[in-house]
Copies of this chain bind each other. A is one copy, B any other.
Amino acid sequence: MSTRASGVELWSTWKRTHEVIRALVVNEVTAAAGLSEPDMTVLVRLHEAGGTLRQSELGAAMGWDRTRLSHQVTRMEKRGLLTRRRGDGVTVALAAAGRETIQAVLPTLGDAVRRHFLDKLGESDLDALRVILDRLTREGS
């Protein structure tokens, strides 16, 4: 009962904090690489997956809906960052330019994430945050 009144306030703080930190990191990376945030998100996720994913799995991993991802992949395909291949759904892969780009940008991203995010938290905070994020994405509303 005691957290009821402050619930929306914590929600607002969570959103605002995410927005501010995100902007700090994204501004550094996009300034350095000529990539938008969604470009980065897609490249990072594909890279983590080894370079190839089914489009539906890529979308699920990022929490994006189909339309948004379809438009985004279309744009990135036109710029030569990705390739699309049909057959039992669609498979998306890093093209050569995409592979080079993500490898060039990852150190910048890692550095920005460390300075604006990780370094502001202690080890116990990071552990606690992992637990919190895990609980938030568990099923059962």
Q: Which of A94-116 contact B (CB under 8 A)?
A: 106, 109-110, 113-116
Majority DSSP secondary structure for residues of A touching B:
helix
Beta-carbon contact of A8 and B44 below 8 Å: yes
- Does the CB pair B12–A44 fall under 8 Å? yes
Question: Which residues of B sit under 8 angstroms from A32, Cβ to Cβ?
Answer: none
- Interface code A47-78, partner B: CB below 8 Å = 1, 0 otherwise? 01000000000000111100000000000000
Query: A19 is contacted by which of B63, B109, B130, B132 (Cβ under 8 Å)?
Result: B63
B116 touches A125 (CB 8 A): no
| Interfacial chain B residues near A62, Cβ < 8 Å | 16, 19
Count copies of this chain in the complex. Answer: 2
Sort A-B residue pairs by CB-CB distance and give the 3 closest, nearest first: A128-B128, A19-B63, A20-B63
Known: A110-B8, A114-B7. A136 touches B21 (CB 8 A): yes
A-side interface residues toward B, CB under 8 Å? Answer: 1, 3-4, 7-23, 25, 41, 44-45, 48, 61-64, 106, 109-110, 113-121, 123, 125-133, 135-138, 141
CA distance A113 to B109 in the complex (A): 31
Question: Does A10 lie within 8 Å of B129, measured CB to CB?
Answer: yes
Contacting residues, chain B, for A16 (C-beta < 8 A): 61-63
